[in-house]
Amino acid sequence: MKFAVEAWDPSYGASVESELNESAAEVVLDVEQPVQQWCPVDPDPAVAPPEAVLFVDGVRRVDAQVWVEEEPGLASPALCASYAAGAVCCCREGAHLLPPEVRRGVFSTAEATTDIVTGAGAYQAHHTTERPGVAPGQVLSSALQRALADTEFVAATVARAAHLAPLDGAGLDHAAVDDLLVLDGSLRGRQHLPRTIGYVKTHHSSYLPAQLGAMIATLAAGQRTPVFRIEAPWRRHTWYLRLPCRPGAPWAGIVRVECSAELATADAVTLASRSQVTLGRFASVEFKDSRAPQNLYPIAGLERELRRRLGDPNLVYRALRRAAAEREPAVI
């Protein structure tokens, strides 16, 4: 029996589900190449990596499960969470952290929810609505994820502005900037940002028919599939790319990259070619990262720094308990 051990740490789940769900999304395949001509695309030797790459990511942590009393004898569940987003710029000067966004929030469906002030910081109230047939915990987790996505958008905007600020002082045109913004995860809600790609590390759905999907396992390091377009639930150009990695499972080192569907085909193909000569330079290796090679070094370092800035979880939890004890029984 031949077998391969995946480098991906199983505590993070699987990088690829054992059986991918067939996506119901409408897919347009003949964007870059006609379907009959689909084959692995080699890196273009004429394409150079950008002068600067901005990696954006966010982290979240549930600090406490709480109950918000709406009236005597009636309380609703809530989450107190800390979350942060930031960016790392990799350029000729090296890698440096750009100003991060660190926030705390209390997420609840209760109308009585208000800000919670603690010695570890204030938790801003986020009211969300219940959804029929959806567990309350899932509703609150989704609200937290939306808040994190909004924070990542702010971090991306701030990072791009900070990177462009020196050009404003020199009177240079922003169109002449040679940079690439890499958002860890889906591009949804941020697809209008210029020179931006979404970087998807894990796979749960299959977007290609079987005869084309089989090509993904044949990709060599640095090769990609042709660009295709997903029409729903939201439109984007996308392609699969294999990062440098040790031979193993068929989808080892495979990532899916996205860009805006509003881009012309030629511009989407240009971004796809740039991703081939850019992302592999930052791929991690197994003895340094448990999610190698998909967890790129700048993103891994950014995650560590953002988690550090969330504060010690034990101190934060005790601060919440003290704040609850000091209040009337509005928060239990």
Q: Dihedral of CA 221/227/233/234: which sign? A: positive
Q: What is the DSSP letter of 29?
A: -
Alpha carbon distance 57, 62 (integer Å): 17
Residues 175-202 as b/e (b if ≥16 CB within 10 A, e otherwise) read eebebbbbbbbbbeebbebebbbbbbbb
Alpha carbon distance 127, 113 (integer Å): 7
Model's pTM, two decimal places? 0.88
Alpha carbon distance 195, 257 (integer Å): 13
3-state secondary structure of 100: strand
* Cα separations in angstroms, 36 against 14, 29, 33, 206: 32, 10, 8, 19
pLDDT at position 332: 45
* Other beta carbons within 10 Å of 296: 29
Is position 4 within any domain?
no
pLDDT at position 331: 46
- Strands 121-127, 116-118: pairing is antiparallel
Nearest CA to 203 out of 245, 161, 166, 238 is that of 238
> Each residue's pLDDT tens digit in the chain (332 positions)?
566 566 666 666 666 655 566 777 889 999 999 999 999 999 999 999 999 999 999 999 999 999 988 877 788 899 999 999 999 999 888 899 988 999 999 999 998 889 999 999 999 999 999 888 889 889 999 999 999 999 999 999 998 888 776 655 555 555 557 899 999 999 988 888 999 999 999 888 888 988 888 899 999 999 999 999 999 888 999 999 999 988 777 888 999 999 999 999 999 999 999 999 999 999 998 888 888 899 999 999 999 999 999 999 999 999 999 998 887 554 44
3-state secondary structure of 169: helix
Q: What are the structure tokens assigned to 264, written together?
A: 């012309």
* Cα separations in angstroms, 34 against 142, 306, 315: 39, 44, 58
Is position 331 within any domain?
no
How many domains is the chain built from? 1
- Strands 236-242, 27-28: pairing is unpaired
CB 265 within 8 A of CB 31: yes
Is position 170 within any domain?
yes
- Strands 236-242, 228-230: pairing is antiparallel
Is position 88 within any domain?
yes
The residue range of the domain holding 209 is 10-326
Is position 94 within any domain?
yes
CB 153 within 8 A of CB 189: yes
Is position 3 within any domain?
no
Residue type for position 305: E
CB 210 within 8 A of CB 186: no
Is position 1 within any domain?
no
Residue partners of 73: CB distance under 8 A and separation at least 6 = none
Is position 5 within any domain?
no
